[in-house]
């Protein structure tokens, strides 16, 4: 299997995670293991890297890619929404760092039969985890029109959501919509290309992908769970690729970084609420040279936080 994916901001991720050679690092979105390999190379035989991915192909590629590392490597096929159970099963309590590199890999997009790309004609699928039953075909052919409109608006931020959903519902009455190519034709005839907005199918495909994989609803809790697992001084690094996921990450970090939550007019703090993390600087974006060599890097943002307080152990 040729697993092509260029990892984003590798040096920045390594720097943000402040790697300790005997530390335990959790890569929640292992992919082909590009970031994990870079982290693993900095670890000694006492160090450990735990990689999670829900995609079978990613697991295969990463297993091969990480096989030569000196540190302990644990690769788990699963969803990062279950990271607590995964760490418990591995008998791992606290970790030194966690990384989320969200979304899909270039391999997934570029493999036609996965159905992620609007530029390749293939069956409507878009599942990262092919054990799950909900596919893009199901969404497009069986969801009510109003639900389609909502998904296109919320997850695709598409202005012509109503028109596109209506056209899909008209077409599927004639015969089921089976391929990405058929869907792209419907989208193209109902939404104009805009100079800055790019191809309208891009936004609709993003929306369907988010729905099929339930990408947004698990994100905030997963980040909170990862932070709860960090040791004091441990680091969290999250790479996002579009404004919807970035907004969730930013808000979640803001909540975790909040200290006292007493009403403003209280003279003294009675809540005893403490910030769990300190947000380290603003979002980091890739250097121009990386964007030039990897167009996927263009929209990437890396947000980093340092764990400063553990509510469970009351240590500071």
Ligand X SMILES: C[S@@+](CC[C@H](N)C(=O)[O-])C[C@H]1O[C@@H](n2cnc3c(N)ncnc32)[C@H](O)[C@@H]1O
Q: Give least dist CB 141 to ligand X, A.
A: 24
Q: Is residue 30 within 8 Å of 58, Cβ to Cβ?
A: yes
Among 24, 25, 35, 210, interactor with ligand X by CB under 6 A: 35
CA R_g for the chain: 21
Q: Give least dist CB 70 to ligand X, A.
A: 19
Which is nearer to ligand X, 99 or 168 (by Cβ)?
99
Among 7, 206, 225, 240, interactor with ligand X by CB under 6 A: 7
- By CB under 6 A, residue 240 contacts ligand X: no
Which is nearer to ligand X, 35 or 137 (by Cβ)?
35
Which residues face 53 on adjacent strands? Answer: 77
Measured CA to CA, the distance from residue 27 to residue 188 in angstroms comes to 38
Among 25, 66, 69, 105, interactor with ligand X by CB under 6 A: 105
What backbone phi and psi angles, to 5 degrees, belong to 50? -115, 125
Going through 45-143 in order, the beta strands assigned E by DSSP cover: 48-53, 72-77, 95-101
Site string for ligand X, 191-220 (x = CB under 6 A): ---------------------------x--
Site string for ligand X, 262-291 (x = CB under 6 A): ------------------------------
Q: Which one of the spans 67-75, 103-111, 169-177, 224-232 is the region binding ligand X (CB under 6 A)?
A: 103-111
Q: Which one of the spans 46-54, 135-143, 179-187, 273-281 is the region binding ligand X (CB under 6 A)?
A: 46-54
Which residues face 98 on adjacent strands? Answer: 26, 236
Q: Which one of the spans 18-26, 52-60, 198-206, 279-287 is the region binding ligand X (CB under 6 A)?
A: 52-60
Q: Is residue 291 within 8 Å of 207, Cβ to Cβ?
A: no
Tell me how many degrees the CA angle 12-18-24 measures, rounded to the nearest 5: 115
The sign of the dihedral angle between the CA atoms of 161, 149, 202, 220 is positive
- Residue that is written with structure tokens 């596109």 in the block: 164
51, 40, 57: which is closest to 80 by C-alpha?
Answer: 51
- By CB under 6 A, residue 12 contacts ligand X: no
Based on DSSP, count helices (H) and strands (E) in the chain, helices before strands.
13, 7
- By CB under 6 A, residue 111 contacts ligand X: no
How do strand 277-279 and strand 301-307 relate by DSSP bridges? antiparallel
Which is nearer to ligand X, 4 or 194 (by Cβ)?
4
Tell me how many degrees the CA angle 261-262-263 measures, rounded to the nearest 5: 115
Q: Is residue 108 within 8 Å of 116, Cβ to Cβ?
A: yes
Q: Give least dist CB 139 to ligand X, A.
A: 17
Among 80, 116, 152, 155, interactor with ligand X by CB under 6 A: 80
Please report, as residue ranges, which positions from 123 to 152 form the binding site for ligand X (by CB under 6 A).
128
Give residues in contact with ligand X (CB under 6 A): 5, 7, 29, 31-35, 52-55, 58, 79-81, 101, 103-105, 128, 218
């Amino acid at each position: 299997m040729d697993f092509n994916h260029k990892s984003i901001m590798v040096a920045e991720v390594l720097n943000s995670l402040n790697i300790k050679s005997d530390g335990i690092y959790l890569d929640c979105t292992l992919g082909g293991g590009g970031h994990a390999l870079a982290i693993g190379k900095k670890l000694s035989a006492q160090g450990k890297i735990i990689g999670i991915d829900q995609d079978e192909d990613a697991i295969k590629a990463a297993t091969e890619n990480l096989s030569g590392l000196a540190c302990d490597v644990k690769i788990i096929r699963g969803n990062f929404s279950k990271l607590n159970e995964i760490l418990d099963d591995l008998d791992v309590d606290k970790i030194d760092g966690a990384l989320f590199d969200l979304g899909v890999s270039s391999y997934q997009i570029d493999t036609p039969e996965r159905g992620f790309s609007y530029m390749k004609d293939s069956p409507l699928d878009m599942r990262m985890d092919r054990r799950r039953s909900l596919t893009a075909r199901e969404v497009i052919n069986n969801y009510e029109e109003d639900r389609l409109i909502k998904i296109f608006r919320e997850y695709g931020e598409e202005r012509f959501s109503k028109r596109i959903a209506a056209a899909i519902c008209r077409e599927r009455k004639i015969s089921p919509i089976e391929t990405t190519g058929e869907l792209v034709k419907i989208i193209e005839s109902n939404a104009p290309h805009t100079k800055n907005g790019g191809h309208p199918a891009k936004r609709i495909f993003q929306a369907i992908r988010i729905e099929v994989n339930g990408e947004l609803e698990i994100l905030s809790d997963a980040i909170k769970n990862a932070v709860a697992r960090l040791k004091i001084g441990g680091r969290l690094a999250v790479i996002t690729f579009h404004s919807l996921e970035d907004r969730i990450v930013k808000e979640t970090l803001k909540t975790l970084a909040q200290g006292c939550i007493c009403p403003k007019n209280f003279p003294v703090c009675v809540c005893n609420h403490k910030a769990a993390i300190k947000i380290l600087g603003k979002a980091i974006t890739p250097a121009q040279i990386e964007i030039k060599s990897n167009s996927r890097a263009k929209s990437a943002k890396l947000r980093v936080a340092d764990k400063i307080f553990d509510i469970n152990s009351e240590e500071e």
